[in-house]
Structure 1
Amino acid sequence: MTGLSSSPAAQGTPRADGLGARTAAVLVFGSSAAVLVVEIVALRLLAPYLGLTLETSTMVIGIALTAIALGSWFGGRIADQVNPRRLLGPALGLSGAVVALTPVVLRTTAQWAPATLLLIASLTILVPGALLSAVTPIVTKLRLTSLAETGTVVGRLSGVGTVGAIVGTVLTGFVLVSRLPVSGILIGLGTLLVVGSALIEWRTRGWSGTPALALVILVGGLATTVAPGGCDTETKYHCARVVADPDRNGGRTLVLDGLNHSYVDIDDPTFLKFKYVRAIASVVDAAFPEGQPLKAHHLGGGGLTVPRYLAVTRPGTRSAVSEIDKGVVRINRERLGLRAEAGIAVRAEDGRLGLRRLGAGSRDLVVGDAFGGVSVPWHLTTVEAMTDVRRVLDEDGLYVANLIDHGDMAFARAEVATLSAIFKHVAVIADPTDIGLDPTATPEGGNLVVLASHRPVDLRATQETLDARQTGWKIATGDDVTSWTGDAQVLTDDHAPVDQLLQPYDSSQ
């Protein structure tokens, strides 16, 4: 009789090359989990240099998926041509070496060769991702000893790999990032992969080759400790540093992901270094009677410069702050002199959720100063978010927010259009060239402060305060705002392309 034989010999896969079911599951589970750990941690590692934007996330996810596709494709092809047992050790070991070296390579590249950062970053995700993704087809080849069990083996290993990816994602997002620095996560993962490689090599060919890989891990770990671009603290969301001001004893700058987010004078909270903070203080001082205590809510904390200022200039003010990063809150208490008696209550929570828990008409002032990189988180820019801001303000309440944009200011104009759809009175404070008050000049962009209320604000007093604080900024309102905003789209929860509208700063200009 003629036909297909299901015997192992007829299929060219000797049972001697098989792999134990438990070992196979561990290899597939672990390698799949490792791919997702690398992907998520890469986002954190790149944020200080590329920004934590939708584009950055999309790029990293796309590269990781490309790595999975390439590894699965070529891993299967090579496994059909070479003894699969000889492939497992090198795949794990080489991926481990690259993973462990990733922090020092990326940070060094960002400092000394920033033009090549995207290429190097892509390779540090693509290479280990492809090698680790190749493990599943290699292991599948070793487990397939009969046509009769093909579906069972492939289905089981596919399921194990998917569970591994889920565990890697959840473990990284909920546990590892909150407890370990990203460099420690990658060095630890790389070490585990090299150890796995050593065990596989030992079972197949002795310890040949693994000492060299272990040495690479050791060198990579040591190099990471002296790599440029390190952090004082790696929080759940940021690479954070506190830099002392050589010109003021109490001056401290909070640097998050390489950007100066806040300046605080611990000894004198009324000293406001950043121009946009002086603008916010000017708006508040002109809108409310001098010394009147306020009930304020702050979206985003940073160094808590504005809450500290209000606590000193308006004794009795109660400031509640929604700051998503517990690490930043801890830095304020341990290194930036935040005291419990200052009337500042900080909750580690998302700003939108923080708004939702507030009662209607419960606040005199809401301050928006939340940023992910240089972008306001999109869900804090929409009509729905601003409706919630309007809800928590009393009838004379004021919303004032810091924005950053460049180029044609598409995002800033869209946000002002959004505020105009909710509030009766909206004004923009910035350099005159950036808000259309000097049509002969080319906008450069940077910080802008927007204010919105259902009652008119004394703009003359605001301008006098801005001038007294030497900001050089002017106020646009009424027809000037309408003309500058033009046909800018109103942002909604259903459509808020903030990352696409936002224009990055062009240093070549």
Structure 2
Amino acid sequence: MNRILATVLVVLSSAAVLVLEIVVVRLVAPYAGDTLETYTAAIGVALGAIALGAKLGGDAADRRPPGGLLGPLLVFGGGLTMLARPIVIGAGPLLTGAGPITALLLVASGIALPVALLSAVTPVVVKTQLADLDQAGGVVGRFSAWGTVGSLAGTFLTGYVLISALPVSMVLLVTGGGLVLLGGVLLLRHGVPRGGRGGAAMLAVVTLGGGLLVSVPSSCDVETAYYCARVETDPQRPTGRVLYLDDLRHGYVDLADAAHLEFAYTQWFGAAIDALAPAGPIDALHIGGGAYTMPRWLAETRPGSTGEVLELDPAVTRMARAELDLRTGPDLSVHAGDARTGVAVAPAESYDVVVGDAFGGLSVPWHLTTREFAAQVHRVLRDGGVYVVNVIDRGPRAFLGAEVATLRQVFDHVEVVGARGGFASEVGGNHVVVASDTPLDRELLDRAVTASPRPGELAAPDLVAQWVRRGPVLTDDHAPVDQLITPYLT
């Protein structure tokens, strides 16, 4: 085989493997969440399939003419690449709710086979180039290097370009279709193995993969670089709109009433701000935009207030403008980008309130939970300012306790709001942590959250004190947020 063609095959097949490894996270996130476990499953399954494919490909190349193996590997690999999305969409609803096992099973069912087939290409190509055993080391090293180049190209192209420019379905169609075409060229050159049976099997896989890929509907209105996003009308409230990001009801707005707060935790946000923030207009920084519920509420209930929103995903903001009546201007501005870097460059002592409501799956992104980040929030708050942050936790509340302990390292006073009777429940849910250097009026705050349409209650002082004593302090060096929420290793 021509060395240039051999190099192209190794580069493209290796690039396709990394396309699958990255894209599968987007496929699985609506059912398993955008969590560390999902990324771990994607990396682990891909590495296992790469190892298996390399071993089987090398063995096959020793038993059969290697040139004739490449066409089928690429065609089957391309067809199964296109099948990845239909498989995950079909299996996802059946496997949802099994924690990290959901991610592992969905990733494996979606990409293990195509990754293994595509990883078999490199050892088969190497066998075609081993004309002189005295040069074997150089040949193996050269194609190993080119395979790494392909992996790097697939990584950067997918992460920086494809995911933001194209829907996941189109990324898989282009990748799988390209592999099929390249495999078809090699089949014309070397022939179809096993007569008509091999050709029929390849045709069936490609037809099934391509057909299902374009016909299976997506649950998303928009596939953003980070989320499967959609907006649905609340059947109980015709003007209510619910924003879904992956597997979560992420936000709610009433198009006819900006002051309406539907979710319990947003009502507790509002109660805490009304009870503890200065009277009249205030300046607020919102960490996470989503449905832009709280910025709209603040503008409606406290005219003259200003809000700055740090939202990672520009596509979510565009959806909020188009479908959720988001209107920006002098009193409400949106900055696209990571909240950690956004807070770091914000002026000191600029805000009366900081509202933390950023999520990746069920957890706050780890770098927004640490003592170092809390210190940055503290820096941008004025004297008497209040930090309110939404925390989802369940079971023993290990993450909630860690966040309380962490904030208590930076702020003089910390309180926690949860559902009535909820602190003793294993089910868990949303909690609002309130932090300030100014003493927090527990009685006033308790009355405010109790009077909410979805009443909350304050955690008992001894429970808060227990969290402060026993909770691990989260730092940039160690913040195992997902593991604290899902303590499956203990």
* Contact 2:221/2:229 (8 A) holds in 1: yes
* CA distance in 1: counterparts of 2:8 and 2:142, whole angstroms: 12
* Contact 2:402/2:473 (8 A) holds in 1: yes
Task: Tell me what 2:281 maps to.
Answer: 293
**How far off its partner does 1:150 sit?**
2.0
* CA distance in 2: counterparts of 1:302 and 1:145, whole angstroms: 59
Task: Tell me what 1:68 maps to.
Answer: 50
* Contact 1:198/1:210 (8 A) holds in 2: no
| Residues 229-272 of structure 1: CA deviation (Å, up to 9, x unaligned) | 52111001000010012232321000000210000112211111
* CA distance in 2: counterparts of 1:20 and 1:430, whole angstroms: 67
* CA distance in 1: counterparts of 2:23 and 2:302, whole angstroms: 43
Structure 2 CA distance for partners of 1:490 and 1:503, relative to 1, 3 Å: same
* Contact 1:433/1:443 (8 A) holds in 2: no
Which of 367, 377, 384 pairs up with 2:365? 377
Alignment of 1:278 with 2:260, yes or no, is: no
Higher alpha-carbon deviation: 206-215 or 370-379:
206-215
Q: What one-letter code is carried by the residue in structure 2 that aligns with 1:94? A: F
Alignment of 1:333 with 2:315, yes or no, is: no
Q: What one-letter code is carried by the residue in structure 2 that aligns with 1:472? A: P
* CA distance in 2: counterparts of 1:484 and 1:166, whole angstroms: 44
* CA distance in 1: counterparts of 2:35 and 2:82, whole angstroms: 25
**How far off its partner does 1:457 sit?**
2.8
Task: Tell me what 1:463 maps to.
Answer: 446
| Residues 341-393 of structure 1: CA deviation (Å, up to 9, x unaligned) | 47221111111001001111111111100000010000000100001110110
Task: Tell me what 1:205 maps to.
Answer: 191
Equivalence map 1:44-443=2 (5 Å): 44-112=26-94, 114=96, 118-205=104-191, 213=202, 216-227=205-216, 230-290=219-279, 292-341=280-329, 343-435=331-423, 441-443=424-426
**How far off its partner does 1:198 sit?**
0.5
Q: What one-letter code is carried by the residue in structure 2 that aligns with 1:160? A: W
| Residues 215-235 of structure 1: CA deviation (Å, up to 9, x unaligned) | 643443342344365211100
* Contact 2:69/2:124 (8 A) holds in 1: yes
**How far off its partner does 1:462 sit?**
2.3
Q: What one-letter code is carried by the residue in structure 1 that aligns with 2:256? A: D
Q: Secondary structure at the match of 2:349?
A: coil
* CA distance in 2: counterparts of 1:133 and 1:478, whole angstroms: 57
**How far off its partner does 1:432 sit?**
4.3
Higher alpha-carbon deviation: 317-326 or 271-280:
317-326
* CA distance in 2: counterparts of 1:443 and 1:119, whole angstroms: 26
* CA distance in 2: counterparts of 1:36 and 1:119, whole angstroms: 19
Q: Secondary structure at the match of 2:475?
A: coil
Q: Secondary structure at the match of 1:340?
A: coil
**How far off its partner does 1:421 sit?**
1.0
**How far off its partner does 1:309 sit?**
0.3
Q: Secondary structure at the match of 2:363?
A: coil
Unpaired segments of 5 or more residues in structure 1? 1-18, 436-440
* CA distance in 2: counterparts of 1:432 and 1:494, whole angstroms: 35
Task: Tell me what 1:5 maps to.
Answer: none
| Residues 28-77 of structure 1: CA deviation (Å, up to 9, x unaligned) | 00001011110010111111111122122112111111111111122112
* Contact 2:80/2:205 (8 A) holds in 1: no
* CA distance in 2: counterparts of 1:289 and 1:149, whole angstroms: 77
**How far off its partner does 1:433 sit?**
3.4
Larger radius of gyration: 1
Q: Secondary structure at the match of 1:367?
A: strand
Structure 2 CA distance for partners of 1:479 and 1:74, relative to 1, 3 Å: same
* Contact 1:194/1:210 (8 A) holds in 2: no
| Residues 317-362 of structure 1: CA deviation (Å, up to 9, x unaligned) | 1111111111101101111111124722111111100100111111
* CA distance in 1: counterparts of 2:155 and 2:77, whole angstroms: 18
Structure 2 CA distance for partners of 1:168 and 1:412, relative to 1, 3 Å: same
Q: What one-letter code is carried by the residue in structure 2 that aligns with 1:379? A: H
* Contact 1:236/1:326 (8 A) holds in 2: no
| Residues 180-227 of structure 1: CA deviation (Å, up to 9, x unaligned) | 111221122111111111010011117975676456434433423443
* Contact 1:410/1:503 (8 A) holds in 2: no
Structure 2 CA distance for partners of 1:218 and 1:499, relative to 1, 3 Å: same
* CA distance in 1: counterparts of 2:271 and 2:257, whole angstroms: 17
* CA distance in 2: counterparts of 1:477 and 1:348, whole angstroms: 38
Q: How big is the alpha-carbon RMSD for the aligned residues of Structure 1 and Structure 2?
A: 2.1
* Contact 1:407/1:504 (8 A) holds in 2: no
* Contact 2:283/2:306 (8 A) holds in 1: yes
Structure 2 CA distance for partners of 1:450 and 1:29, relative to 1, 3 Å: same
* CA distance in 1: counterparts of 2:201 and 2:60, whole angstroms: 24
Q: Secondary structure at the match of 1:388?
A: helix
Alignment of 1:473 with 2:456, yes or no, is: yes
TM-score (norm 2): 0.93
* CA distance in 1: counterparts of 2:108 and 2:463, whole angstroms: 45
Percent sequence identity over aligned pairs? 47
* Contact 2:328/2:334 (8 A) holds in 1: no
Unpaired segments of 5 or more residues in structure 2? none
Q: What one-letter code is carried by the residue in structure 2 that aligns with 1:170? A: F
Alignment of 1:444 with 2:427, yes or no, is: yes
Q: What one-letter code is carried by the residue in structure 2 that aligns with 1:325? A: D
Structure 2 CA distance for partners of 1:199 and 1:211, relative to 1, 3 Å: farther
* CA distance in 1: counterparts of 2:157 and 2:272, whole angstroms: 45
| Residues 445-478 of structure 1: CA deviation (Å, up to 9, x unaligned) | 1000000001123332322222322322111364
* Contact 1:47/1:257 (8 A) holds in 2: yes
* CA distance in 1: counterparts of 2:201 and 2:52, whole angstroms: 27
* Contact 1:194/1:214 (8 A) holds in 2: no
| Residues 92-142 of structure 1: CA deviation (Å, up to 9, x unaligned) | 111111110111111111124557954353133221111111111101110
